[in-house]
Structures are given as C-alpha cells and as structure tokens.
Amino acid sequence: MKAEHAKKIADEALANLTAALDQGKSESLTAYLTMLGRFHHYSFNNVMLIAMQKPDATQVAGFNAWRKLNRFVRKGEKGIVIIAPMHIKAKAEADDDEENDRDLLRFRAVYVFDVSQTDGDPLPEFAGVAGDPGAHTERLIALISASGITLDYADNLGGALGRSLGGRIEVLKSLSPAEEFSVLTHELAHELMHRGDRRSATTKTVRETEAEAVAFVVSRAIGLECGSHAADYIQLYDGKRETLVESLDLIQKTAARVIEAILGEPATE
C-alpha cells in the first residue's frame, strides 16, 4: 500500500471520529454510565468480604439498586453481607447549656447481591467492535514483534482488556477476534507514541484519546464495525473534539504506519 493511500484512509476515518465526538455521548454510553452510577464503590474490607462469601461475584448492588435497573433478586437467593456506615444524630451539651446536634458514625451489616442472583432487563453494555479481522491480526502481531515489543496473553488483567508496559504488551485471552485486534492496536499505539519524554508531557486523557483514535482508524481500515466504540471510549476519559484535533497529525502518521504494515506493500516516499 502506498503511503498516500494509507494517509487518505486515516484522514477519512479521523473525520468520522471527530464528527462522532461532536455529537456528544451516545445512547449506549449514557445508559452505561447510568448503570455504573447505580453501583457503589466498596472499601477494601468490603471487597474482601464479598470475595470470601461469593468468589465469582462480578457486579454487586443492594436490593433497591437492582430494582432501579429493572432487575430483581430471585427468591431464595442468599445475600452477601457487607458493612455500611450510618450517621446518627446525637445531642451534645455545649458550654452555655444549649444542646447542639452532632453526628455519630456507626456501622451496620447490609446485604448486596451479585448480578448472577438477579433476573430482569439486560445490563447496558459498553459499545464494542465487531467483525472478522482475519489474517490482519497475524500481521499486526508480526509488526509488534518487529518493533521489538513482547506480546503476552493473560487470563486476568484486573478489569483491563490490555496494557502497554514499555516494550511489552499484555492482552486479555478471552476477547473476541475483533476486540483482540482493536486492543492490540490500541496498546501498540501507546508503545509507539507514549514512551520517553512524551509520556510525562501528556495527560492520560490525551494519551487515551490518541491511542483509541489510532485503533479506530486501523480497525476501520480492515473493515471492522466500530460503531460508537471509539467515541464512547474517548469520552469516558473526558476526551473531546479539541483533544483529538490537537493530536491529529501524530495520530494520522501512527495509524498510517500500522495500516501500511498490515495491508500490504511498504510505503514508498
């Protein structure tokens, strides 16, 4: 593939991504964020309690929180006990003999339930990438190796789909072929753009915007269906149109480099 053709592909895809960011959050992202807001952030001690009682738990919430998501705890399910703080108003005597209200912090046991213990509406999912990357994944892996980067697959990455570790990429084993290709490209973009001085000179928002934009461009170039995935991902990190525009040149050059490598003959100057 000629460099000019790769550049054209990248420019067209980036124009589409810019337009998607202009449209704001998609319906799927809004629903996903709403769902996240229903789940509480648990303390380390509560996480340990949940793990001890139900090691396979993935998403837990109280009875009423599940109802707000139109899901209902099945009859007979055993709750998972956690500790919740509660504030109690108490009277304290002041120096002038007037009573003042003060808060007393107490703790009580409450029950939460895992999603596997509930029935009802499906939980909103983050937009994904679909399609068949075919032999392009092998070519992408060859590019990663030729760039001096080690690639490992892991059973668990602590909730992440992939990680860029400076000379090494880790990717979750259980991804679909399309997701694997997109994540590999995203992490490769981090390796190519965000090592050395530039990493410390940029924010996480900028780095994630740039890496996901490259993944979007390359995934589109091989015919994958990206939908709102890239725009949603960027907006999760508070990325905006302006963030993308400021990095367009670097994104275009990096995406074109990857496209040239996986779609055919090397670029000619």
d(CA 204, CA 211): 10
Tell me, yes or no, whether 14 and 59 share the same domain.
no
The pLDDT mean for the chain works out to: 86
Tell me, yes or no, whether 8 and 104 share the same domain.
no
What's the pLDDT tens digit per position in 86-96? 767 766 555 55
Tell me, yes or no, whether 17 and 107 share the same domain.
no
Tell me, yes or no, whether 82 and 145 share the same domain.
no
User: Does residue 13 register a pLDDT over 70?
Assistant: yes
Tell me, yes or no, whether 115 and 137 share the same domain.
no
Tell me, yes or no, whether 90 and 214 share the same domain.
no
Tell me, yes or no, whether 77 and 94 share the same domain.
yes
Give domain status of residue 269, yes or no: no
- Among residues 67, 93, 120, the one where a domain terminates is 120
Residue 130 confidence class, pLDDT cut points 50, 70, 90 = very high
What's the pLDDT tens digit per position in 34-87? 776 666 677 778 888 888 998 888 888 899 989 988 999 999 999 999 988 776
Give domain status of residue 205, yes or no: yes
Give domain status of residue 268, yes or no: no
Q: Which residues does 140 contact at the CB level (< 8 Å), separation at least 6?
A: 181, 184, 185, 188, 258, 261, 262
**Dihedral (Cα; 166, 167, 173, 178), 10-degree rounding:** 90
- Among residues 65, 93, 120, the one where a domain terminates is 120
208, 190 Cβ separation under 8 angstroms? no
Tell me, yes or no, whether 59 and 14 share the same domain.
no
Q: Which residues does 235 contact at the CB level (< 8 Å), separation at least 6?
A: 21, 24, 25, 29
User: Does residue 207 register a pLDDT over 50?
Assistant: yes
Residue 201 confidence class, pLDDT cut points 50, 70, 90 = confident
Domain membership of residue 46 as a residue range = 34-120
- Among residues 95, 120, 145, the one where a domain terminates is 120
Tell me, yes or no, whether 103 and 150 share the same domain.
no
d(CA 231, CA 251): 15
Residues in the chain: 269
Provide the 10 A C-beta neighbour count for residue 61: 21
Give domain status of residue 40, yes or no: yes
* Total number of domains in the chain: 2
Tell me, yes or no, whether 114 and 135 share the same domain.
no
Tell me, yes or no, whether 112 and 198 share the same domain.
no
What's the pLDDT tens digit per position in 211-263? 999 999 999 999 999 988 999 888 888 888 899 999 999 999 999 999 999 98
Rg (alpha carbons) of the chain, rounded to whole number:
24
